[in-house]
Chains A and B, each alone.
Chain A
């Protein structure tokens, strides 16, 4: 049966194998004088053992099918917004990026009214910029257009 522990254990084994594969480019050193790849490989081996143990002993954990994903639409939208923010932050500037991201979440995902969405997005984007950049002197990106 596919349980949560078995899925997680399998994923951890894959991560461990990936680390071992990627470590081949680095000098391993020796048991007495470890090189840069030594610790990652030791840790990957430990992770591999833990992952395998989880996969073997995880038969009594909850079934993967029983895990609820009711919020997946919101989760996908939030991941998209974060991706947009990472791409746009330095190109469009903090204020434009945050205003657009908020407008999307409030207007499209949460279906709030147009006036509220626009007003709230602008106030939060400009207000947080004023607080952090202007008052607290934390430099925030202005983007290509100086916004």
Chain B
């Protein structure tokens, strides 16, 4: 405890230095914009702005990118409440009661509750991250290749299990992502695989063009020809203060959403979306007036918004402590850290304590910045939405091209983005989730290396995965998940994943 606090003091000395503070602020502002603008989610936002951090040292770069990440989570609620359009996917549940509150003239109160809930959840979950990551990293020092192989495999299975809709489809997408991750030089033998003479493919296909293509370009392709967004409900500043009853009704959902969001954030999967969905379902189940949900229930805003912000910090736990991303956004963050010469994993906290603790402290500061920034400036952010989409999307497209090109200074990445954009567009039409592809691309080289190293250790015996307690446990958990996913086929009932898929499509839940 004392050691943690003294480390945190070191972190604050880094985070409160003017340059780091400035980059945290810039990250939060940009993240809020990314969250407010429909079509530019945190994943595409972080990917696009990665090149802008090349001139910075690692600490400032990571602090700024993390600011974009949680800033987007804050910003996403604005369009959900005022327009019924989720700025990013995790705000889907906020659309339901947030917009209903706005139509009743309580838009300001809904925004304030979302912001305060996000702040509380963000801050509490950073405290949890601070205490959980170091012991987990110490534990992970016992991991060898078999444990990492089992962990990575479990990560993919959990991601598939936690995805909305069919697990079969999610697993197929994960397999496709893993296959894409096979492109490039085989690390153990030096053979070029599926590169067809393109030298730039030697290092494999980058996660940034894949992420921008699947999430940024595919979104533009699908939405550019759509009708313009509906009218925006503009709140007045004096309406921002919620009533005493609204505060009272939101307190417990914020607490529950924080705990749920953090725990779900640690588990691989599209944590933000799932956490907000689970929080909404829990609040409706616990409410004394469940009939109010869908008609402007305060708990329907405060719970999900707290949960998706807490999930942000939760997702950093496996990434920082184990070096294993739990979803596509942490995967891009991991790639960004590697670009800056930082290797997340068990040794990060030991070898680069000023970076780790500076990052943790900057999250406290960032959450405060977002609270102070978001409420008074909500009108300004809303004005961005007045820019017609036919002008907005060409600008976003140009930034996609710029961002993807600038990472490696290679046109090949632009071609990859284009191919992934086309693939993502078609997969959307066919109702497939694309997040497992991104995770597959980044996990493929790690997974293959862990498998081959394990077999080298055991002289080709696959029993090594079952003979070591940690890897055997992880594989057993994976098997349980596969069996659980088969349950709805036997009982012929809707499980929570089917319900989540329906909610994301805007269909009424039974």
A interface residue numbers (CB < 8 A to B): 4-5, 7-8, 12, 15, 19, 22, 26-27, 30-37, 39-40, 43-44, 46-47, 50-51, 53-54, 57, 61-62, 67, 69-75, 78-79, 81-83, 85-86, 89-90, 94, 98, 101-102, 105-106, 110, 112, 120, 124-125, 128, 132, 136-141
Contact = CB atoms under 8 A, between A and B. Distances in A.
13 contacts: A4-B430, A8-B432, A33-B456, A71-B223, A71-B225, A72-B225, A74-B225, A75-B222, A79-B221, A101-B394, A112-B390, A132-B51, A136-B54
The 9 A-B pairs with the shortest beta carbon distances in the complex, nearest first, are A32-B460, A71-B225, A74-B225, A50-B172, A36-B186, A74-B224, A105-B394, A36-B191, A110-B390
A101 to B, nearest CB: 7
A27 B414 CA distance: 31
Interface stretch (B73-81, B83-91, B122-130, B404-412): B404-412
Interface of B: 51-52, 54-55, 168-169, 171-172, 175-176, 178-179, 182, 186, 188-189, 191, 193-194, 217, 220-226, 390-391, 393-395, 397-399, 401-402, 405-406, 409, 411, 414-415, 417-418, 421-422, 425, 427, 429-432, 444, 448, 451-452, 455-456, 459-461
A47 B169 CA distance: 10
Contacts of A40: 179, 182, 193-194
Contacts of B397: 78, 81-82, 101, 105
A79 B418 contact: yes
Best-buried of A15, A71, A105, A138 by chain B (most CB within 10 Å): A138
Contacts, number: 171
B176 A75 contact: no
A89 B411 contact: yes
A46 B179 CA distance: 10
Nearest to A121: B394
A50 B418 contact: no
Contacts of A102: 394-395, 398
A34 B451 contact: yes
Contacts of B393: 105
A106 B391 CA distance: 7
B191 A26 contact: yes
Contacts of A74: 221, 224-225
B285 to A, nearest CB: 29
A40 B390 CA distance: 42
Contact of B221 (A51, A78, A94, A120): A78
Contacts of A12: 172, 176
Please indicate which of the listed interface residues A79, A85, A140 has the most CB atoms of chain B within 10 Å of its own CB. Answer: A85
B399 A47 contact: no
Contact of B175 (A43, A71, A94): A43
Given A39-B448, A40-B179, A47-B175, 14 more contacts: A8-B430, A12-B172, A32-B455, A34-B451, A37-B193, A43-B175, A71-B221, A79-B221, A94-B402, A132-B402, A138-B52, A138-B55, A139-B406, A140-B405
Q: Which of A40, A46, A106 has the most CB of B within 10 A?
A: A40
Contacts of B172: 12, 47, 50-51, 54
A90 B401 CA distance: 12
A107 B193 CA distance: 43
A43 B179 contact: yes
Contacts of A43: 175, 178-179, 182
Nearest to A105: B394
Contacts of B459: 32
Given A8-B432, A43-B175, A82 B193 contact: no
Given A110-B390, A140-B406, A98 B225 contact: no
B411 A86 contact: yes
B219 to A, nearest CB: 11
B430 A7 contact: yes
